[in-house]
Structure 1
Amino acid sequence: MKIHDFNQRLKDAILIADGAMGSMLHEVVGPQRCFDELNTTEPEAVFRVHQAYIEAGAQIIETNTFAANRFKLAPLGLGDEVQRLNSRGVKIAREARESAAREVLIAGSIGPLGLGVQARHPDDKEILDVFYEQAMALEERGVDFYILETFSYIEEVLLAVDAIRSFSGLPIVAQLTYSEEGTTHGDIRPSDAAAQLKNKNVQVIGANCTVGPQALLPILQELAAVDDIRISGMPNAGFPKREGDRIVYPKSSPEYFALFAREAAALGARILGGCCGTTPAHIRAMAEAVKSLRPVKAHAASPVVEAVAKPAPVSQREPESQFWKKLKKKEFVVCVEIDPPKGLSLDRIFEQVDKVMASQKVDAIDINSGAMARVGMDALVVAGALEARGVETVPHLTTRDQNIIGLQAALLGAWTVGGVRNVLAITGDPPSVGDYPETSGVYEVDSVGLVKVLSRLNQGTDWAGKTLGGATNFSIGVALNPMADDLDNEIARFHAKVEAGAHYAMTQPLFDPEHWHAFLKKLGGKPAIPVMIGVWPLNSYKQALRLNNEVPGIVIPEPLLKSMEAAGASARDCGFQVARQMLAWARTELAGAYLIPPFKRYEEILEIL
């Protein structure tokens, strides 16, 4: 379809698009790993959904290709199916149109890549290539126009538009998704997004998903106030809830959607439809509500959602903790690592930490978080308890147990209530190694993503760009494994962590300076941030043998193993002597060391200081 013809249709009529696809398919075929895959495995089910919407009055049907891009398909082993799934999606939509008694337009649905907080964020060229591949597959099979929908990142939707415009002259509808506050990721308001999109040869700019009909109206009103654009709106049925393994949307009445359609039409909307949880009944009600209406010219009314002036971004600051200040001054820093209690009492932790800190040879206590995927008191909570006693801490935070919402909530509480100023960002041991092997880890982000989240909090916003009314100022630590099996990957991830905002690193325990020297050679020079070495006093030959063979990332040199075996009952003396030597060496080449007490006997660590 030519852009001129598309614009002419929107000048003369309000077009009704279809509603939800995924939830409708779920009702028919049950849960799926990928609803786009149904284009090849259950094409009849997809056809029937299209047909139901056409019969309800939809003048636009969207292809079942929302997530059919290489970035989302590859983790499912479907990366080479982009062409086939998109082609089949268009073919099914065309078959549904051909069976209709009236003309229906086919919109090629393209969703976001789901980038989120990735360890390796693809560069712009890679993103362009992914969108280009999907868009080309859709156009080759005969879509009338494109609909870019449910985008949270303005930068990403702009790249999607650029990818399409690099080869296509078809019309484009570009829709972002907004929160109830009327902003999308980065605290971008609808008017700001529209201002960036309107010069990109986009025919319609709109909003869909996330919110229900009433919350979408102020967003549409703000869009309508932008000169020379056409707008679209496709709300969810309302706020979802979880029931078992399903996300269920409220049964909003069709009459409620009819009311929305009339109000949206009065604001100047040219395309209306539904998103998650909507059904043919909602679309029928909307079609009936606007069938006698003609488009009105969008007018520059004052937005209902009042734009709040954004606070100035927080400039990058040096972390304020004493721990970091000492690292920054290149004074050797010593930490002792502890495990949180498995039960309810902190008394023994307090007693042991008091003894260690009384030596005046230790700067901070670093606190494990669910090591070996076993349940223990939360490291951030333990850190807060120790901070209240005047002990500086470096709690570990794993991405295994919480999603990005929970991680941010925990960090805000740790900063404000717990007084925590240092955090070590780690991915965490998988649940399969612990007491709950049947559970699954969250791992919504990895340690690189967590560093990005921490950096964003330090700048005064959450990951979605919402201002915090202040800013944290954590010193951000990361793990480093100089003995990783795949050193190229470890080094690439280390660089990614530094780029994301890491301030310092802590290595896996090392038992030979040459292991560090070999790593530096592979790295190509000194690290860009201070590095603290892990020092573990070995207690016995059997312990050394187990660590060497069973714990990833720990390599104990063969001469040390033989020495400890030969030492017999004196193996502990041998292990502690090596620890003293490693600590003495570290003082000459590294920024600090963290010491791992043998079998949680924290006072014994004083023997090597």
Structure 2
Amino acid sequence: MSNWSKIEDAVKNRIIMLDGAMGTMLQKQSLQEDDFRGERFQDWPSPLQGNNDLLVLTKPEAVEKVHHAFLKAGADLIETNSFNATTISQADYDMAELAPEIARAAAQIARKCADEWTAKTPEKPRCVLGSVGPMNKTLSISPKVEDPGFRDVTFDEVKESYIGQIEAMIDIVDAILIETVFDTLNCKAAIAATHAVFDKVGYKKPILISGTITDRSGRTLSGQTPEAFWISIAHANPFAVGLNCALGADEMRPHIEAISRVADTYVIAFPNAGLPNAFGEYDETPSDMSGQITPWVEEGFVNILGGCCGTTPEHIAAIAQAAEGIAPRHPVKPKATLRLSGLEPFQIAV
């Protein structure tokens, strides 16, 4: 039985733990421009500090340190450090051509760390999710306020950019995580890219999809409610669907509950450590965050839990402890209805 098959069995009986914030933990290492450049990119013409994905090539030990910390804290699943490893996103650093290399190195590092922990504790297999993040270009919203119909990228361009990222990781990771989705059309391009890679390699792996409710409006940036978002991407048959980023646990709760009521698959949630303060930092303590999430678990909203911005291994350990011994959510049984969505869900009974 593969490690992922063991996760599929375990998710029926307990809450599966995801890792926390890679970016937060890298920032805590106080890395400087030279760390991002390494020897290979000393003469690169563009500033590189802040390109966290590049560290898999220039300072892999920094990334490994984060993976090991979250695995030690109890994570069953870790995400590759490939959030921005697409040609479109890496173009900001004039590194578009390096995106597939970055994605593959990220997958290799995460795989190595996960396998080391699986060897230590075979009764608790650790698996790797290939992180596929959003882009700085959106298909649903014009970057020009004066021209609402303008787009500076096409669906096919976004899809091709994602194909390069996913293809570089597919033979290494256990599943693909399309995360922090604020534009559903971009997400559809990522889904199409994933299936294009499946067709090319001749096999499939599970897909997990996590959207982002950007503020208290209860909608994604492209305007959808959680229920409408689920209907829009349900055709991908994801292993899990849910939400991450932008909100803390308290603010995210009603939106996770909404998805939990309608999704006929598992539900994943990885909120921020509260809302950012005036300095853009996250103050919510592990005990506070786990205390807010405990009702989610007790009321049966979720199957997979982790953390996003501001969350540390201590947050993950506290959440894991709070969820221990509590039965996970059971996916709802699909109803025989025609389900449509725009910004709102629309269902017609059959």
Same fold (TM over 0.5): yes
Q: How does 1:47-86 map to 2 (within 5 A)?
A: 47-86=64-103
Matched-pair contact (CA < 8 Å) for 1:56–1:283: yes
The aligned residue for residue 263 of structure 1 is: 295
Residues 1:226 and 2:262 are matched in the alignment: yes
Shift of the 258–92 alpha-carbon distance from structure 1 to 2, 3 Å rule, reads same
Q: How does 1:227-376 map to 2 (within 5 A)?
A: 227-243=263-279, 247-250=280-283, 252-265=284-297, 266-298=299-331
The aligned residue for residue 172 of structure 1 is: 207
Percent of aligned pairs with the same amino acid:
28
User: 2 CA distance for matches of 1:227 and 1:213?
Assistant: 20
Shift of 1:4: 6.8
Matched-pair contact (CA < 8 Å) for 2:3–2:126: no
Residues 1:94 and 2:111 are matched in the alignment: yes
Residues 1:10 and 2:27 are matched in the alignment: no
- Matched AA of 1:154: T
Shift of the 53–67 alpha-carbon distance from structure 1 to 2, 3 Å rule, reads same
- Matched AA of 2:207: I
Residues 1:26 and 2:27 are matched in the alignment: yes
Matched-pair contact (CA < 8 Å) for 1:268–1:298: no
Query: CA RMSD for the aligned pairs?
Result: 2.3
TM-score normalized by structure 2?
Answer: 0.80
Shift of 1:283: 0.1
Shift of 1:2: 9.6
Unpaired runs of 5+ in structure 2?
33-48, 144-149, 199-203, 334-342, 345-350
1:43-86, Cα deviation, whole Å (9 max, x unpaired)? 10110100000111111111111011110102312111112111
TM-score normalized by structure 1?
Answer: 0.47
Shift of the 55–201 alpha-carbon distance from structure 1 to 2, 3 Å rule, reads same
Shift of the 81–220 alpha-carbon distance from structure 1 to 2, 3 Å rule, reads same
The aligned residue for residue 246 of structure 2 is: 210
Q: How does 1:426-505 map to 2 (within 5 A)?
A: none
Shift of 1:162: 1.5
Shift of 1:104: 0.7
Residues 1:186 and 2:235 are matched in the alignment: no
Which is greater in Rg? 1
Aligned length: 298
User: 2 CA distance for matches of 1:22 and 1:253?
Assistant: 17
- Matched AA of 2:67: H
Matched-pair contact (CA < 8 Å) for 2:285–2:315: yes
Shift of 1:147: 0.9
Of 147, 163, 174, the residue aligned with 1:144 is 174
- Matched AA of 2:257: Q
Residues 1:107 and 2:129 are matched in the alignment: yes
Shift of the 104–126 alpha-carbon distance from structure 1 to 2, 3 Å rule, reads same
Shift of the 201–214 alpha-carbon distance from structure 1 to 2, 3 Å rule, reads same
Matched-pair contact (CA < 8 Å) for 2:300–2:328: no
1:170-213, Cα deviation, whole Å (9 max, x unpaired)? 11110110022211123210011111222222111100000001
User: 2 CA distance for matches of 1:69 and 1:78?
Assistant: 9
- Matched AA of 1:13: R
Shift of 1:284: 0.2
The aligned residue for residue 340 of structure 2 is: none
Shift of 1:112: 0.8
Unpaired runs of 5+ in structure 1?
301-309, 312-609
- Matched AA of 2:294: R
Higher relative contact order (CA 8 A, sep 6+): 2
Aligned residue for 1:249, secondary structure, equals coil
Shift of 1:17: 0.4
